[in-house]
Structure 1
């Protein structure tokens, strides 16, 4: 019996041909396809500017540099997020300050953030957890009058909607992931979007070692001694390749179909799971998710989650533990300033079920039957 994986990227011949064409062109590093992908992605999410980078982690790092974060600054983050969210703050010598989340969405709210704000708070990283859009406007109303910046960690959110607009598109600055566990994938890779043209130009320089003139622009100008770049600040090697961007352009065209299919399958899970789930992730009032992760809370009194995962694996179903809590990991253990009950409940009792574009109803029925058996 074949194993049902937790995720399969929707990749095919069209992506393979696009990548091959980039290889045959002779331009495989950051170049014209990256610029085209940036334009197309910015148009899709409705942001004025997009900057392609090597991962969402590097996007978050650059976003915080753009927000002016430095040593001693505090940045409020959800503990309930992949550890990269907190790490990006630590890279700059800042202090990640953990706030609790809404137990239904897994996202920060104004009510969970306000108790941990201090005079040293310079930013909040608002995560669209599992592809559920955060209520960005409510956080901006809370944070911006105090002089802070809200950075949207939209790593999981490509294709989600916030107040009928693409998630991340209205943020002052947002970061996306194109890892294979996300709907839109380029293998590895990420994107920044922002409202400010000067900031976008600076981020483009920073992703390429701080060079004043990119390699692509030097080539377009004919190269040679007439085009000499300068390095005005410390930069990084955070570039995306044209091969990745070629794949990304194809994937972007598939994104609406991906979201529609995942939402259809998630609705079927919800209808059929019944008492097997105490709670299942769902849409908030202010938007609709893309179901990047289909997580549920195991019912109270269920067997230990590790045992449930082992039983599912024996039945040929690959599930995953729920969303991690960074404040329980070694680098941040003991640093939480307030209790985080919703975070700890979700991280200890949640389970992520298989969900991907090509999942069949027959496979989904196998998952549900296996979960029912595992919970006996």
Structure 2
């Protein structure tokens, strides 16, 4: 009888007693919805990311939605987005009535560049959404130069970016507005949740209203008075709020962020060193202008490799290892295959989507866990 193989996950959040205690404290307080812990998390996150304003939300998707809404993007506008990204990036443009226009990406980073963006600009382009794909920082300076000269808004989708740096600063600090994710697959988690950051005080103020049905006085403000002030609904808003339960976890996680990133970079270095001699695999690396948090450690299976990407995934699965296919190509999904947007030729996107996979990487990963993954990848004759 063969031994049962323990499944190795692709990601596992690093949560412990501190997060448990923080949540218990919120429950004991009696205030579990959006309140003082959310405000504290926003303040701490803004300081850590070197930005002026932070607005907590229910997800990165809702943060992206608010980002485009407060910037005035809407029907009749084109928004350039990478197809090589989770579908939420394009969806956010669709939510505000704009048209997503797909740009190709750099084969080394998986990110859009000034060149790939310029190729798909239209007379209606009013915003560009750039993504720090898998935690690899986007080269923002050249993109800002291109867009600023044309009065085009730059939105950064830093869903995977907490702890990554660009030219010595946290990613997201140089965009007009940035959205962050705290999903369990991300570096810093609140279970679900997101954040909008921006240097624009008026955008932050409006985002705070819009996330809470556009009420003139939020729930926390009304709760502070025995006779609550009469609220007004100033425009059509949304329910995009974070809870204090989530924010309490986020505050603890934010304090762990440097340690989490250091551990992920250590594990990534082990993968990179072990795979350095394999001519059939290309691994993700730091770009020259910044550092990645290795939210995803992705590998491209080249033509020189004896197995296809899907065959490598199958071999890993047979060994009980949960790897994942690489980033999706949104323009090939049924939801966008027949949409009215302009779709240019995206050869790099389609190649990376077809040939990349994401390897397991998480804080608690043991050397033996990485050994299981590498044994499959480096199997003789494989």
Question: How big is the shift at 1:277?
Answer: 4.9
Equivalent pair of 1:327/1:336 in contact (CA under 8 Å): no
Among candidates 350, 356, 365, match of residue 359 of structure 1: 365
TM normalised by structure 1 equals 0.97
Aligned with 1:158: secondary structure? coil
Label 1:110 to 1:189 Cα distance change in 2 as closer, same or farther (>3 A).
same
Q: Deviations over 1:195-231 (max 9, x none)?
A: 01111010000000001111111222x1415x11111
Aligned with 1:116: secondary structure? coil
Among candidates 132, 142, 153, match of residue 149 of structure 1: 153
Separation (CA, whole Å) in 1 of partners of 2:301 and 2:309: 8
Among candidates 283, 295, 311, match of residue 298 of structure 2: 295
Equivalent pair of 1:308/1:374 in contact (CA under 8 Å): no
Q: Which residue of 2 aligns with 1:182?
A: 186
Residues 1-376 of structure 1 aligned to structure 2 (within 5 Å): 1-220=5-224, 222-225=225-228, 227-273=229-275, 274-275=277-278, 277-300=280-303, 301-333=305-337, 337-373=343-379, 376=382
Separation (CA, whole Å) in 1 of partners of 2:58 and 2:32: 14
TM normalised by structure 2 equals 0.95
Backbone CA RMSD of aligned residues: 1.3
Equivalent pair of 1:79/1:343 in contact (CA under 8 Å): yes
Aligned residues: 374
Question: How big is the shift at 1:299?
Answer: 2.6
Gaps of 5+ in 2: none
Q: Deviations over 1:254-288 (max 9, x none)?
A: 00001001111111101101316531111112110
Question: How big is the shift at 1:302?
Answer: 3.7
Gaps of 5+ in 1: none
Structure 1 residue ranges (4+ consecutive) displaced by more than 6 angstroms after TM superposition: none
Aligned with 2:246: secondary structure? helix
Aligned with 2:180: secondary structure? strand
